[in-house]
Structure 1
Amino acid sequence: MSEPSESVEPARRERDRDEVFVEFTRSVCPVCKVVVDAQVNIRDDRVYLRKRCREHGEFEALVYGDAQAYMNSARFNKPGTIPLTFQTEVAEGCPSDCGLCPEHKQHACLGIIEVNTACNLDCPVCFADSGHQPDGYSITLEQCARMLDTFVEAEGEPEVVMFSGGEPTIHKHILDFVDLAQQRPVKAVNLNTNGIRLATDRRFVQALGERNRPGKRVNIYLQFDGFEEATHHALRGKDLRERKRRALDNCAEAGLTVTLVAAVERGLNEHEIGDIIRFGVRHPAVRSVSLQPVTHSGRHVEFDPLNRMTNSDVIGRIAEQCPEWLRGDDFVPVPCCFPTCRSITYLLVDHKEDSTDVVPIPRLVDVDDYLDYVSNRVLPDQELRRALERLWSASAFPGTETTAESLETTAAEAECRACGIDLPEAARGLADKAFMIVVQDFQDPYTLNVRQLMKCCVEEITPDGRMIPFCAYNSVGYRERVRAEQSGVPVAGVVPNAAELREVVVDSPYGSKNAAPDAETSREGDGS
């Protein structure tokens, strides 16, 4: 008999992927805007969105630069609050039924009214593609009133409305629009501007200041990308540094609060983030800074979607460039929207003759514990939780009474909890001395994730009485359709089957069939 042959171990056939699959979702093709399937994956400690269009092939984009922070943010996902009314029906599903349709998961913390498409700049970076297009338009007083009424119907007493554009300050009725908002139960107006008119027209700035009074605040949301001439030419097409400074000084003289808003692009101005924060903290008009990775829709500079700036990258630059003031863990995700979209911190600032003392509020109060909706649903101090929910919200900005009350509540708790900590004098009279830093990454056609979009709480209000999530408006084709409807000029590149505008189901310009169930009580207990 022959000897039995030695057994041979079969070759290993399986091979591990180089990434971890996180979720299946939907997105859009960045070329044709057709809705496509997508997946979120983790690779090399970074989070990517991948999708494939039948016609235009595969796309992949970086959506978060820190995979652990992305996964940890899930505990900040606050239960949504439905609006008092919806404006559209569910027909094709998200993102084709905006809005808001009954499947949207959150009400509107911030409503945006774009008053025009014209602008006195032609920035190389402009998600709204503003300028001197043949398909431009400006809204009328009647349209603005209807848009505000849509917002009030949906929210009852909205915290803040933002007038934007184009460049809203060049609209002949912009002061009238502010008056219309203040005639309604809207607590605050944000004016989103490049600052050119604020630098050159002091009477206009004074008129805005005269509209800034208790219970009806006006805040300037000022485009402010950095201090280097190269930054201004790359992002705005011209050197605006001196005009930005004059605009800020004029606002300070008129008693207007200002938010500095920086569009941050990798390789262009990411190294200026710390200088922007330091400048803002020390300027008398500035009460907050908003740092926003560039939204790659409309007009934008050439970029690599696999190596773009994300929220975690911006927070990392802040910690690197302001180590004496801030750490990465000082920033807490905002729960009212999807928590990877926005992070916030507040600073207690005490100006002295030869120095500025800064203490971040998250070092005095366990903010993340109070905003943990997964593991800590029952907490002993519900008043503090509500205060923190109002502060960590897309509707919060310094100067409003709501924010002031929430800061005072938080300060009182901080003083109780901070035994042994020498609080700066800024802890008293906190509402006048607190400084807010926001890091906000808006989605674009490369990064759009329907899972995040469904909880968006920043809404574009359209002239025909809809409220469309901001990232859908810029990514799915809604902006182009509204522009075509308002101007009467067809917009190239709009694909009819990509995101059909659903029929608006309203009884009148000021009433909706789709009132939310229990609309009268749906705001109760909501802190956003």
Structure 2
Amino acid sequence: MNETLIYSPFHYFLSLEVIHVEIKLPYKTLSLCPECLKVLNAEVYEDSGKVMIRKTCPDHGEFTEVYWGDVELFKKAARFAHDGLGIQTPLTDTKDGCPFSCGLCPLHKSHTALLNIVLTNRCDLACWYCFFYAKRAGYVYEPSVEQIARMVRTARNMKPVGCNAVQLTGGEPTLRDDLIDIIKAIKAEGIDHIQLNTNGIRLAREPDLALKIREAGVNTVYLSFDGVDEKTNPKNFPEVPTILKNCRRAELGIVFVPTVINTVNDHQLGDIIRFAADNIDVVRGVNIQPVSLVGSMPKKERARYRITIPDVIKRIEEQTGGEISRDDFYPVPSVTPISHFVEALTSIPQYELTSHFACGMATYVFKMNGRLVPITRFVDVEGFFEYLNEKADELRTSRIKTIRALKGILDVRKFVDHVKAPKGFDISRILFDILVKHDYTSLGEFHVKALFIGMMHFQDLYNYDIERVKRCVIHYGVPDGRIIPFCAFNVLPEVYRDKIHAEHGIPVEEWERRTGRKLKDDIYRVVRRPKEQE
């Protein structure tokens, strides 16, 4: 498929400066037909205070979908649009165009910030909506330790910036008997940060597992957590207290990961955040994922279940009584000035979170006197970011970059209201240590005190924007050596995920014969479709 050059509504940058620009709606982009995957011209436009995307397939007609639920928040996020340095060591060519040449190809604009590795498609839950796990797929996919190490090595060696964070996912990755060996092998490749994406059932049933994985090298557990009662969270609600206890004992941090569905669990966003804050000694954040409506779905059903980033933010504002507001959230690429400053200081390309501005938003919250206080209430976030860009420009032309000299030119304190800041928590010192000394002990201190609240809305074929895929920073490693963006890997399973896993998997019957085990014996809980949804 040939890629068409189309009008872009915002400037993409070759320099290291962050340029704030206004995106003017409507504008053109490229999308896909949800039925035949044909590349289509699409329009992103405003309608009744929402941002919509519209496209027409010559064979399957017009598709209109909500892109973002609030146009003003969309414009705020768009001001921080920023492209990365691209890929200097592509692994595939561009002959099929985006998103059919993934691997990464030369069209990709962001390095791998997080490499996902699927350890298995087996699971100990049988959920009514999941067609991914082994029994339904008809094969078992489990890459070897050696294959996993090669995936990591490939991502680590990419230029200009190699990957330094890996997430182990599934299926349910704790079903791997060699999980500890896998973690150690990844650490041996020089990876600093390892996340384990899990439903946590084994962390509850095996009291020592949390300690074992932490000692092997896992930094954070990404815990599926869809609600604060059994109705909204049938997967692991009974196990959550024990998971918290075992991770607390192991000093292993947790991030709650709710998949939020409109009319299903969106009413509990405030409760989820407060529960996380009540356990802030072990819970590091809440990473909300508005549901991606994969597969074929009628427009009426999509309207019922669809929830976008602004919708989530507004519900958080309502359900926390304004303690956390829509003004407290910033898009992912807003933090690029931090990377630019460190890059100017060290003359070494740095990690840049240059995802598309519409992919995610986040804030940090502190618990003070029983209240939730966002960092924006005592730090001038935008002023701080602009200041860092100015200082980065100064540093690029300066030959003196000692800590003593930097103390004279970098005054972080003027952006912090110390009267409103948490007591006994010197955020000015922490920011200086992180920026200048690269003291990640200080970064750890920050994360222990603060609660991260973020959201990442992965695409589906109805709201698909190819410009977002090009800027994806969350990628998958696969056995054939390719590195594939999240919204290509999972949204086009017949091209990527399912096809690759089938090629490198073995039939269920053969797996059961080799192992002497039955897949059904893995199942700990069956999650049935709620009656009101039948």
Normalised-by-shorter TM-score class: 0.7 to 0.9
User: Corresponding residue for 2:282?
Assistant: 285
1:323 Cα deviation from its structure 2 partner: 2.6
1:434 Cα deviation from its structure 2 partner: 1.5
1:148 Cα deviation from its structure 2 partner: 0.8
User: Corresponding residue for 1:90?
Assistant: 94
In the superposition, relative to structure 1, how do residues 456 and 132 fare at CA in structure 2: closer, same or farther (>3 Å)? same
Any conservation in 2 of the 1:349–1:426 contact (CA below 8 Å)? no
State the one-letter code of the partner of 1:100.
Answer: L
User: Corresponding residue for 1:449?
Assistant: 465
- Gap runs ≥5 in structure 2: 1-23, 334-353, 396-406, 427-444, 508-534
Task: Report the structure number with the largest CA radius of gyration.
Answer: 1
CA distance in 2, matches of 1:134, 1:330: 46
Deviation per CA, 1:248-298, whole angstroms, max 9, x where unpaired?
A: 211111110000000000000001000110111111310111111011226
1:348 aligned onto 2:366: yes
Any conservation in 1 of the 2:364–2:374 contact (CA below 8 Å)? yes
Q: How many residues align?
A: 428
Any conservation in 2 of the 1:126–1:298 contact (CA below 8 Å)? no
CA distance in 2, matches of 1:470, 1:324: 33
Any conservation in 2 of the 1:264–1:270 contact (CA below 8 Å)? yes
1:265 aligned onto 2:266: no
In the superposition, relative to structure 1, how do residues 381 and 127 fare at CA in structure 2: closer, same or farther (>3 Å)? farther
Select which of 238, 252, 256 maps to 1:256.
252
Name the SS of the counterpart of 1:90 in structure 2. Answer: coil
CA distance in 2, matches of 1:219, 1:103: 32
In the superposition, relative to structure 1, how do residues 431 and 286 fare at CA in structure 2: closer, same or farther (>3 Å)? closer
- Gap runs ≥5 in structure 1: 1-19, 385-408, 490-528
State the one-letter code of the partner of 1:271.
Answer: H
Any conservation in 2 of the 1:125–1:300 contact (CA below 8 Å)? no
1:484 aligned onto 2:502: yes
Aligned-pair identity (%): 34
Any conservation in 2 of the 1:124–1:301 contact (CA below 8 Å)? no
User: Corresponding residue for 2:518?
Assistant: none
In the superposition, relative to structure 1, how do residues 377 and 29 fare at CA in structure 2: closer, same or farther (>3 Å)? farther
CA distance in 1, matches of 2:275, 2:371: 14
Structure 1 vs Structure 2 CA RMSD: 2.8
CA distance in 1, matches of 2:95, 2:293: 28
Deviation per CA, 1:332-373, whole angstroms, max 9, x where unpaired?
A: 1111211111111012334xxxx434432222233234557x
CA distance in 1, matches of 2:135, 2:424: 43
Select which of 368, 380, 383 maps to 1:366.
380
Q: Which has the higher contact order (CA 8 A, sep 6+)?
A: 1
Name the SS of the counterpart of 1:231 in structure 2. Answer: coil
Deviation per CA, 1:203-259, whole angstroms, max 9, x where unpaired?
A: 2222012235xxxx52100000002322134xx4xxx31112211211111110000
1:103 aligned onto 2:111: no
More helix per residue: 1 or 2?
A: 2
User: Corresponding residue for 1:118?
Assistant: 122
Alignment of 1:189-268 (within 5 A): 189-212=194-217, 218-233=219-234, 236=235, 240-268=236-264
User: Corresponding residue for 2:484?
Assistant: 468
Any conservation in 2 of the 1:46–1:66 contact (CA below 8 Å)? yes
Any conservation in 2 of the 1:341–1:442 contact (CA below 8 Å)? yes
Select which of 29, 33, 36 maps to 1:32.
36
Alignment of 1:319-338 (within 5 A): 319-323=317-321, 325-335=323-333, 336-338=354-356
1:21 Cα deviation from its structure 2 partner: 5.8
Any conservation in 2 of the 1:112–1:461 contact (CA below 8 Å)? yes
1:96 Cα deviation from its structure 2 partner: 1.1
Q: State the TM-score, normalized to the length of structure 2.
A: 0.74
1:74 aligned onto 2:92: no
State the one-letter code of the partner of 2:237.
Answer: R
1:421 Cα deviation from its structure 2 partner: 2.7
State the one-letter code of the partner of 1:430.
Answer: F
